[in-house]
Structure 1
Amino acid sequence: MNKFSNLIYLFILVLFVFSSCKTNKTSTQGIKGKVFWVEGNQMPQASQETATSFSPAGKKPVIRTINIHQLTHINEANLGDYLFGNIETPLVVSVETNNEGEFSVMLPPGKYSLFTVEEKGYFASIFDLDGYIHPVKVEKNEWSQVEIIIDYKASY
């Protein structure tokens, strides 16, 4: 009976020690998303055969480099016809999409602006009401999901 009691006490002690230990879980957060390319005439058109409208060519996943800057106001970047030139805010990180246009990057909590790197500049087409360019907020232990549609060669 004495051995049995000792085993119970040992079990309770081990259980107490492991249950009181904090696990050192690393927190991860950042931005995940997908990048698409759209070009050409995107207006619905009537077909003579069916007299109904059809959907124009869809968005296609694309390989691109995405530059993630500190939150950037419209006054902190030079905008040309369709692309941005000089961006005054610091570059935080660049990330490459895969063949399916997908990307993911771990970032500390904060607010960021996203730009795709194009041949003649940087593209972004989303602005908030305060004039910030493609703003994305990263919260602690959360992944922000984004979809980037590069459509400066499309007409609507």
Structure 2
Amino acid sequence: MACSSGKKLHSSVPKQGISGKLLFASGNHMPMVGAPPNDPQPLKGTILVYEPTNLSQVTRMGDAPEYTAIHTRQIASVETDSSGTFSIALPPGAYSLFVKRNDHYYANLFDNNNNIALYTVEEGKLTTVKITVSTTAVY
């Protein structure tokens, strides 16, 4: 017969917000017959949560999806674990996610209006994302 302490275990994953994986892709990602896939690897890093940010509100590094400045308000930040996993509780709303990379920021997802890495959090729901930093990958 098993005993129960009556204590509830609390999960580190919030019930509402954003949860996901941060990955790093490098090298050749072109499919090749007989070669194993070059899967992205987990990346430990910092995810920065900003209010919705448009391409016109950042200072871009040339044509790359990297930025030296973000001219909108930062809402929060979260560190990934060694497996690249992260989660953060957020109120309902829209948010742009950036990855802190040394002295600059990375985000490589745009909608039709040039909003950068825009994700929506709905009441009582967890939005799941996968962010892949691919600055040194070839597709």
Q: Secondary structure at the match of 1:58?
A: coil
**Higher helix share goes to which structure?**
1
Distance 1:139 1:88 in 2: 25
1:152 aligns with 2:139: no
Residue of structure 2 equivalent to 1:109: 92
- Please give the secondary structure, in 1, of the residue aligned with 2:112: coil
How far apart, CA to CA, are the structure 2 residues paired with 1:119 and 1:43? 28
Alpha-carbon distance in structure 2 between the residues aligned to 1:42 and 1:97: 24
Matched to 2:89, the amino acid is M
TM-score for both structures, normalised by structure 1: 0.75
Q: Which residue of 2 aligns with 1:70?
A: 51
Corresponding residue of 1:139: 122
Specify the code of the residue in structure 2 equivalent to 1:99: S
Partner of 2:70: 87
Unaligned runs of 5+ in 1: 1-26, 46-51
Amino acid of the structure 1 residue aligned with 2:22 = V
Runs of 4+ in 1 over 4 A off after TM superposition: none
Q: Distance in 2 between matches of 1:101 and 1:59?
A: 11
CA RMSD of aligned residues (A): 1.5
Distance of 2:106 and 2:34 partners within structure 1? 30
144-153 vs 55-64, which moves further: 55-64
Gaps of at least 5 residues in structure 2 are 1-13
**Greater Cα radius of gyration, structure 1 or 2:** 1
Superposition TM-score, scaled by structure 2 size: 0.84
The one of 19, 44, 66 aligned to 1:32: 19
Note if 1:97 corresponds to 2:84: no
Identity of aligned residues (%): 34
